[in-house]
Amino acid sequence: MNKLIVANWKLNPQTEAEAIKLAKISDQENVVVAAPFVFLEVLKKILKKAKLGAENSSIEESGAFTGEVSAKMLKNLGVSYVIIGHSERRKYFGETDEIVNKKLDKIISNELNPILCVGESLETRKVGIPAVKEFIKNQLNKDLSNIENSKLKIENLVIAYEPIWAIGAGIPDKPSDSAEIIKFIKEFVHLTFKISQITVLYGGSVNARNAEQFLSEKEIDGALVGGASLKPKEFTKILEIAKNK
Ligand code: PGA
């Protein structure tokens, strides 16, 4: 399996027992399980093949910042990936591109792998694909600002292209449209930021019925799966599809 599948559990599940059950069915190569902080310690013991991911990390390093969790804490716990810039964090928690950029710096300097989420609103998509590319170009310019000067090289930058209107909507993007935008993202990041190793995922209403179409697209390196990653049967099917790609 070459395609990368990232499970994004968001604010779920509510108990450790459920988290363990979900982790067991998700424990395969080329899978990242991004879970709420409270489950990371126990998941570290369960996951043998899948990598451990966090859904957020602090812009701060240490000190008087009540309620925050730093990138270093995550690194020391055995986390490998951190989701950053998810549209829900941008929308509900006021995360600007500037904040995303600072968090990214902390994530990289602690040798964690960022999973940077970008994507446009429905309004922008309605204007057309060129407008989407322009929007994402601006987002990447801000989110990745100065990254090429970072002392530490990003070994493998993961970007998730998630059109906001497709997240949790039950209606995904057209795989060929996403593939075109993802191709653009790869070329742009490669040229502008000199990052050679880049993995770009599609996210937004991926399920067992449409995973085949998305994962068959050459440019799409995998999927960021929200809702469907909480349904054991559904997620198992997605992993089976990914395994054969
Ligand atoms: P969804 O969420 O699969 O439920 O649409 C994707 C995401 O937000 O990462």
- 161-207 confidence digits (pLDDT tens): 999 999 999 999 999 999 999 999 999 999 998 887 899 999 999 99
pLDDT in tens, 64-102: 999 999 999 999 999 999 999 999 999 999 999 999 999
> If you take atom 2 of ligand 1, which residue's CA is the nearest one?
226
* pLDDT tens readout for residues 153-168: 556 789 999 999 999 9
Q: What is the percentage of the chain residues whose pLDDT exceeds 90?
A: 90
Which pLDDT score is estimated for 1? 54
Spatial CB neighbours of 135, under 8 Å, sequence gap ≥ 6: 120, 124
Q: Is 54 helix (H, G, I), strand (E, B) or coil?
A: strand
Does residue 151 surpass a pLDDT of 60? no
Task: For residue 18, indicate whether it is catalytic.
Answer: no
Query: Ligand 1 in contact with 167 (CB < 6 A)?
Result: yes
Q: Which ranges of the chain does DSSP label H, i.e. alpha helix?
A: 16-26, 37-46, 71-77, 87-92, 97-109, 122-127, 129-143, 175-193, 211-216, 232-243
Cα(237) to centroid(ligand 1), Å? 17
Q: Is the CB of 205 under 6 A from ligand 1?
A: yes
pLDDT by residue (tens digit) across 4-32?
999 999 999 999 999 999 999 999 999 99
Give dist(CA 87, CA 119) in Å, integer. Answer: 8
CA end-to-end span of the chain: 6
Q: Which amino acid is at 39?
A: F
Report the mean per-residue pLDDT for the chain: 95
pLDDT in the model for residue 195: 81
Residue 55 has pLDDT above 70, yes or no: yes
**What does pTM read for this prediction?**
0.96
